[in-house]
């Protein structure tokens, strides 16, 4: 159900109430704002990708494969780089393979490893998808390039402090 903008900022109001009733509101306000921006970004990106039969997770997998030197990676490495559970990677690869966007192949030297390679069809779909998400600025509107860099820098600090990378 589509609706227009609220006549007030609900996070600002929650911040005031939190401060009055619970205590310092800064962390709550930052996290609530981050979660709301996540919803806004997905609301822009998912419809941009849907006509192409992609979700953002599948798009990320295609990007990852296209960035690899050979256009292929072991499934385990895909999971590590995308920071996903092996079951999620399998589901993503299953869908991409069903659409002929990737193909599985045995690793040439490790019989226990399956490689996933992006296909030419996958590269073409990736090009269309990248145009679709960049046309909507990935849903991240209202920031200058400098502000986008600052946001990335700040979020990198949070990710690093949480042990997201070494």
- Asked if 72 contacts 105 with a C-beta cutoff of 8 angstroms, the reply is yes
List the domains of the chain with CATH numbers. 10-158 (1.10.10.10)
Residue closest to 102 by CA, chosen among 74, 82, 130: 74
Separation CA 59–CA 85 (nearest Å): 17
Band (109; pLDDT cuts 50, 70, 90): confident
CA 40, chain centre distance (Å): 13
- pLDDT-derived band at 4 (thresholds 50, 70, 90) equals confident
> What pLDDT score does 68 carry?
95
pLDDT band at 2 (very low <50, low <70, confident <90, very high): low
- Of the pLDDT bands very low, low, confident and very high (cuts 50, 70, 90), residue 16 is very high
How far apart (Å, rounded) are the C-alpha atoms in residues 68 and 62?
A: 10
| DSSP structure string for 59-122 | HHHHHHHHHSTTSEEEHHHHHHHHT--HHHHHHHHHHHHHTTSEEEEE-SS-TT-EEEEE-HHH
Average pLDDT over residues 114-141: 97
- pLDDT over threshold 70, residue 1: no
Check whether 103 has a pLDDT greater than 60.
yes
Model confidence at 81, pLDDT cuts 50, 70, 90, reads: very high
- Is the predicted pLDDT of residue 117 greater than 60, yes or no? yes
Average pLDDT (47-59) is: 97
Average pLDDT in the 91-105 region?
97
Q: What is the pLDDT of residue 113?
A: 86
**What's the pLDDT band for 120 if we cut at 50, 70, 90?**
very high
Yes or no: say if 93 and 116 are a contact pair by the CB < 8 Å rule.
Answer: yes
123 — pLDDT class (breaks 50, 70, 90): very high
Residue 15 CA: distances (Å) to CA of 7, 40, 66, 75: 16, 20, 43, 43
**Which residue is it, tokens 């779909």?**
125
Q: Exposure pattern of 68-90 as b/e (b: 16+ CB <10 Å)?
A: eeebbbebebbbeebebeeeebe
Q: What are phi and psi of 115, to 5 degrees?
A: -95, 145
Average pLDDT over residues 96-107: 95
Q: What is the DSSP letter of 162?
A: T
């Amino acid at each position: 159900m589509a609706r227009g903008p609220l006549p007030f900022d609900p996070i600002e109001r929650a911040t005031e109430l939190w401060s009055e009733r619970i205590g310092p509101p800064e962390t709550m306000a930052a996290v609530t704002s981050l979660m709301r921006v996540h919803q806004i970004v997905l609301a822009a990106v998912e419809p941009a990708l849907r006509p192409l039969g992609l979700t953002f997770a599948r798009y990320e997998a295609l990007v990852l494969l296209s960035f690899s030197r050979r256009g292929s990676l072991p499934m385990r490495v895909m999971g590590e780089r995308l920071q996903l559970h092996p079951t999620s990677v399998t589901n993503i690869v299953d869908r991409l393979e069903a659409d002929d966007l990737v193909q599985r192949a045995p690793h040439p030297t490790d019989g226990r490893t399956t490689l996933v390679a992006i296909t030419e069809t996958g590269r073409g779909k990736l090009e269309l998808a990248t145009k679709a998400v960049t046309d909507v600025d990935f849903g991240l509107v209202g920031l200058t390039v400098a502000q986008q860099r600052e946001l990335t820098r700040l979020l990198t600090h949070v990710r690093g402090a949480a042990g997201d990378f070494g």
